[in-house]
């Protein structure tokens, strides 16, 4: 059994120090950039005086200091935030570090993001997790076999599919393609320890780094009785440190792949055909669904939004999750929007090489941060402990917002908390496709603040008269209505070009 080493180290240290310590050693400027990018109020951050006057905050990515992957904290995670969970010649399984920053821990700290990359014909040995897995096939095709409820269910899955593996199911899977890799992005919902999960193997594998069989820890008397044998050695020879293959990710022959996929279906188990649509049979239904194959929920020439919600998939409803795929056309962007309840965990699954980024308004870093420090003169004794802020203490109103911004690429993870207005911009080199898991999705709604369906268009005349000064009333209407495209529209560069052409 593998222990989750990344868990252990993150738990022992303060969240900010993990990343800052090594970086600070390398370059004080880099450290400063990281500090500025934190959505925390740190007294030594230097603000742009002009911005401060308007009650808004902004930090500039300056040259190298603003390296992507280092910015946008704690809402952005780059490649360096993944840890290897299992690895062999035939593939690897990477897990993103915990969402343990105080600003996001409360909403999504219990969940983990992971990515599987399996080489052609790779085989993942049987095991079970103490976590539900919600998986999206980013590339390739495979067969996923679940042993649960006394049955065996084989699912054929392919690019664009979403499927759920309920916690505790014994699963084995294989890449069924001869030459393409099978790549899966998943969200894990641990059921025993929030934010931390384990994998359990009935069969152990050769090599020091390889998992052991959980049978091996039981006493001789228990094993003999449980297997109804007099010889513990027989049981050990079967399950313990099996030298077959190369461990938890090995390779199957073409014939074995054919055999594994022979009985696989896309139907899951419909529930015996007895009518009534009883929730019992629906619950059993684990068929994969194509996220991209169905009609998009919203689409124009600047992008498409695909969605699978609890309405289509009871498992997702039970988990209070949904899965979205936003595919933004190169050079376009999403209108400024926020969610009413859900926190979105966004994974970049497709992107051109350059020019992709997100921006978000973050209220947590406010002017109150500094005055708070001054007021609490006695806080000396607490040293530099920001731990306290943001939870526990008195609620403070933030009087300003900070811009959180980061360059993003394939594999980047972005967290958009409920209520925080945000946008994604696709560079000119390719489409930007974002897979997002909505946590707390069941009664969620997306609210647009710009574009054709902007909520601001609903303001009534009396409110407008009260909210806007007399002299800008007309202008306000014009500004609010100027962007006619909804949800997706021209990005900054396309828009600039359009204005020059006029």
Please choose, from the candidates 320, 437, 294, 414, the residue with its C-alpha nearest in 3D space to the C-alpha of residue 359. Answer: 414
For residue 286 the two structure tokens come to 């684990």
The tally of CA atoms less than 13 A away on the side-chain side of residue 433 is 11
Question: d(Cα 290, Cα 307) in Å, to the nearest integer?
Answer: 10
Answer whether 211's CB lies under 8 Å from 137's CB: no
Q: For residue 291, is the peptide bond before it cis, meaning its omega torsion is within 30 degrees of 0?
A: no
Question: d(Cα 364, Cα 477) in Å, to the nearest integer?
Answer: 30
For residue 206 the two structure tokens come to 């050769």
Answer whether 55's CB lies under 8 Å from 76's CB: no
**Binding residues for ligand NAG, per CB under 6 A?**
292, 327, 349-350, 431, 433
Answer whether 10's CB lies under 8 Å from 97's CB: yes
For residue 348 the two structure tokens come to 């970049």
Query: Residue for token digits 């309405």?
Result: 311
Cα torsion through 274, 278, 281, 284, rounded to 10: 170
What is the Cα gyration radius of the chain? Answer: 26
Q: What burial letters (b/e) apply to 451-475, b meaning 16+ CB within 10 Å?
A: bebbebeebeeeeeeeebeeeeeee
CA distances (Å), 157 to each of 119, 173, 290, 310, 430, in order?
A: 15, 10, 9, 20, 26
């Amino acid at each position: 059994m593998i222990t989750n080493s990344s868990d252990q180290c993150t738990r022992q240290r303060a969240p900010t120090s993990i990343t800052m310590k090594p970086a600070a050693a390398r370059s004080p400027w880099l450290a400063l950039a990281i500090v500025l990018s934190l959505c925390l109020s740190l007294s030594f951050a230097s603000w742009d005086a002009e911005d401060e006057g308007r009650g808004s905050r902004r930090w500039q990515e300056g040259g190298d200091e603003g390296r992507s992957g280092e910015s946008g904290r704690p809402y952005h995670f780059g490649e360096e935030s993944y840890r290897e969970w299992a690895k062999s010649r035939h593939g690897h399984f990477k897990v993103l570090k915990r969402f343990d920053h105080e600003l996001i821990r409360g909403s999504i700290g219990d969940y983990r993001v992971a990515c599987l990359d399996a080489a052609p014909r790779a085989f993942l040995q049987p095991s079970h997790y103490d976590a539900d897995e919600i998986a999206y096939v980013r590339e390739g095709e495979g067969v996923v076999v679940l042993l649960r409820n006394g049955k065996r269910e084989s699912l054929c899955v392919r690019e664009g599919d979403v499927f759920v593996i309920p916690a505790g199911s014994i699963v084995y899977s294989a890449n069924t393609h001869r030459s393409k890799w099978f790549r899966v992005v998943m969200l894990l919902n641990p059921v025993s320890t929030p934010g931390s999960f384990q994998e359990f193997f009935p069969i152990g594998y050769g090599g020091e780094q390889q998992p052991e069989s959980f049978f091996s820890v039981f006493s001789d008397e228990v094993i003999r009785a449980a297997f109804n044998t007099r010889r513990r050695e027989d049981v050990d020879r079967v399950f313990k440190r099996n030298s077959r293959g190369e461990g938890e990710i090995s390779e199957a022959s073409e014939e074995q792949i054919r055999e594994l996929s022979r009985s696989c279906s896309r139907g899951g188990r419909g529930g015996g055909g007895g009518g009534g649509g009883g929730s019992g049979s629906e619950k059993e239904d684990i068929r994969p669904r194509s996220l991209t194959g169905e009609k998009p929920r919203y689409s124009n020439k600047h992008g498409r939004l695909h969605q699978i919600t609890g309405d289509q998939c009871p498992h997702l409803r039970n988990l209070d999750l949904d899965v979205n795929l936003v595919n933004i056309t190169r050079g376009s962007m999403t209108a400024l929007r926020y969610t009413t309840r859900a926190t979105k965990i966004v994974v970049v699954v497709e992107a051109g090489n350059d020019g992709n980024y997100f921006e978000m308004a973050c209220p947590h870093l406010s002017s109150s941060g500094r005055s708070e420090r001054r007021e609490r003169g006695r806080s000396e004794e607490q040293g530099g402990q920001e731990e306290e802020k943001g939870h526990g203490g008195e609620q403070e109103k933030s009087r300003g917002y900070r811009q959180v911004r980061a360059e993003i690429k394939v594999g980047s993870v972005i967290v958009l908390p409920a209520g925080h207005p945000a946008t994604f911009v696709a560079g000119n080199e390719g489409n930007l496709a974002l897979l997002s898991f909505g946590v707390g999705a069941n009664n969620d709604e997306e609210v647009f603040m710009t574009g054709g369906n902007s909520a601001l268009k609903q303001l009534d005349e009396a409110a407008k008269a009260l909210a806007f000064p007399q002299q800008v009333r007309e202008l306000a209407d014009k500004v609010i209505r100027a962007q006619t495209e909804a949800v997706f529209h021209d990005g900054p560069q396309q828009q600039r070009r359009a204005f020059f052409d006029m």
